[in-house]
Every structure is written in structure tokens, then in C-alpha cells.
Amino acid sequence: MERTFVMIKPDGVQRGLVGEVISRIEKKGLKIVAMKMLWIEEDLAREHYTEHSEKPFFQALVDYITSGPVVAMVVEGKEAVKVVRTLVGATNPVEALPGTIRGDFGMDIGRNVVHASDSLESAEREISLFFSADEIVEYSKSGEEWLYE
């Protein structure tokens, strides 16, 4: 099973969408193996978005992600990275399909409700930034035999 990182951003928390995002992840059949609410410090934000550090919007991105609490999660399932990216939708909510989280709740690329890792490598790096190994729970979920062949 793959693991991926998902973060409900400050706009998602402020708009009361935490339950909706979690519900969609769980209804799809994915398993949440770690979750916490936190207020991201600037150093962590800079490290999390390091691939954008040379881009003109980098400081605005850091300022935004540190502007309010977020909910960080580790999500597990078969092809979890791809499945979560599909659930989340295109980065720009204007281009995100209806039925996706961003398509249903986002209006602006800078306030697109949720972050999801875009590759296994990114997922591993992002998970390690936000969670220690002992914060990730190993468990069997009843009904898993009805999800996968």
C-alpha cells in the first residue's frame, strides 16, 4: 500500500471543510493513518514549499500557509498518490472538474482548500516533514477485503 500526504489548508479549515475533505477520503476507501491540526511555522513552510523557492509567488505562499491552522494527514491505500490527486482535482479550481474537492469548493488557485503530494517521492518527503514514524498508526480496517482484489 502507498502512503501520501494531504493537508487541508487554512482556507479549508476556516471554511469548515475539514469534515467534508476527510469524508471524501474515507468514502473512497482510503485509510487515514496519521492526522493532526497545527499552525505551520515559517521554517517548516519554507521547507515544505522548497521547490517553489525561486518563484515570484514563494513568499506569498509561505505567508498564506502560515496564516491559520491546517490539518495534516497521512493517507494510505492502493495507488494512494494518484487516487488522492484525482479526488483533489486540478491545482487551479477553475480547471478542476465538478465532483473533485477543488472543483466543488475552490474558486482561486491561491485558496484551493487542500494540498496533496504529487509523487511518491514528494509524499515521503512531506510525510517526514510533518510526522515522526511513531505518529503513524499501523492498523487493519474492517471491510478492506471489499475494496481490493
How far does CA 56 lie from the centroid of its chain? 23
- Annotated catalytic residue within 115, 116, 130, 131: 115
pLDDT tens per residue across span 79-136: 999 999 999 999 999 999 999 999 999 999 999 999 999 999 999 999 999 999 999 9
pLDDT at position 143 is 86
- Give domain 2-131's CATH number out of 3.30.70.270, 3.90.1150.10, 3.30.70.141, 3.40.605.10: 3.30.70.141
Tally the C-alpha atoms within 13 A of residue 44's C-alpha that lie toward its C-beta: 14
In this structure, are residues 73 and 6 in contact, taking their beta carbons and an 8 Å threshold? yes
Q: Does the active-site annotation cover 115?
A: yes
pLDDT tens per residue across span 4-61: 999 999 999 999 999 999 999 999 999 999 999 999 999 999 999 999 999 999 999 9
